[in-house]
Amino acid sequence: MEKKIVVGNMKMNLEAMEIEDYLMEINIMDYNKQVVFCPSSLYLPYFIGRNYEVGSQNIAPYEEGAYTGEISAAQLVSMGIGCTLIGHSERREHFKETDEVVRKKTEIALKSNLKVILCIGETEDERDDDKTYKVLQRQITTALKGIAEEYHNKLIIAYEPIWAIGTGRTPTNIEIEDAISFIKTIVEELWFKDMKVIYGGSVSDENIIILEQIENIGGYLVGGASIDPVRFKKIIEVVVNQ
């Protein structure tokens, strides 16, 4: 069975001194390349060249040129960054990223040789209206439109119900398992077999043992709990030693 991964989405957290302490805490573990740290872009260089992978939280929707303040996929690759999150719900919500922008970024990243962790998930209203699967299907089919099959091993999908992000609430294991099966079926019908699908939304050192009972889960995208290196290491230990 393929190894699970644990991705830490550190969002816009920690200042320079805290990052120093963070690195001292995390650099003493063997991660077996199953862990991806996604710090603020500013700190990416500090994380490179160790026994874990490093990912960006975002990329520009353009390849290069006059786009003040942006970072391109090619620039990240040239710095030794291996992957990027795309389509995180916070980017969709606060920066008005549409499905089409997510598609464009996915295409640019893959063509630039950057692995993509594509984030999808429904809002609470969509869930209450029984629209979860419809939303997931739309997000997947739009993001992957025109993406060649040769990229299938460079893509991971993160199922992140928006109502579970940062709230301490998670779906039941059965709900997560069903959503993952659904996502795998959609992707398989379209293009790729054996897509790795990970779960994100209030993953913590307290619920990781329960989540680990989900059969088809490919790993986890961890937000809040990844900012505290001690909590994050507890999560990693459970997953990596499984």
Which residues are known to be catalytic? 88, 160
The distance from CA 37 to its chain's CA centroid, rounded to whole angstroms, is 10
Residue type, 42: L
Q: Does 84 bind ligand PGA (CB under 6 A)?
A: no
Q: Give least dist CB 164 to ligand PGA, A.
A: 6
For ligand PGA, the closer of residues 211 and 222 by Cβ is 222
Q: Does 224 bind ligand PGA (CB under 6 A)?
A: yes
In angstroms, rounded to a whole number, what is the distance separating the alpha carbons of residues 212 and 62?
38
Q: Does 236 bind ligand PGA (CB under 6 A)?
A: no
Pick from 53, 113, 104, 43: nearest CA to 77:
113
For ligand PGA, the closer of residues 11 and 111 by Cβ is 11
How many other C-beta atoms can be found within 10 angstroms of the C-beta atom of residue 19?
18
Q: Does 80 bind ligand PGA (CB under 6 A)?
A: no
Alpha helices in the chain (DSSP H): 16-26, 44-47, 73-78, 89-94, 99-111, 124-128, 132-143, 173-190, 208-211, 229-240
In angstroms, rounded to a whole number, what is the distance separating the alpha carbons of residues 17 and 120?
33
Strand, coil or helix: what is 47? helix
Q: Does 219 bind ligand PGA (CB under 6 A)?
A: no
Q: Does 72 bind ligand PGA (CB under 6 A)?
A: no
Please choose, out of 17-25, 128-136, 180-188, 223-231, the segment that lies near ligand PGA by the rule CB under 6 A. Answer: 223-231
**Interactions with ligand PGA, residue window 165-204 (CB under 6 A):** 165-166, 200-203
Residue of the chain from 103, 160, 176, 192 that contacts ligand PGA (CB under 6 A): 160
For ligand PGA, the closer of residues 156 and 222 by Cβ is 222
Q: Does 58 bind ligand PGA (CB under 6 A)?
A: no
Strand-pair partners of 119: 158
Please choose, out of 24-32, 93-101, 131-139, 220-228, the segment that lies near ligand PGA by the rule CB under 6 A. Answer: 220-228
Q: Does 206 bind ligand PGA (CB under 6 A)?
A: no
By residue count, the chain amounts to 242
In angstroms, rounded to a whole number, what is the distance separating the alpha carbons of residues 83 and 161?
22
For ligand PGA, the closer of residues 55 and 201 by Cβ is 201
The strand pair at 35-38 and 115-120 is best described as unpaired
For ligand PGA, the closer of residues 85 and 101 by Cβ is 85
Positions touching ligand PGA (CB under 6 A) are 9, 160, 165-166, 200-203, 221-225
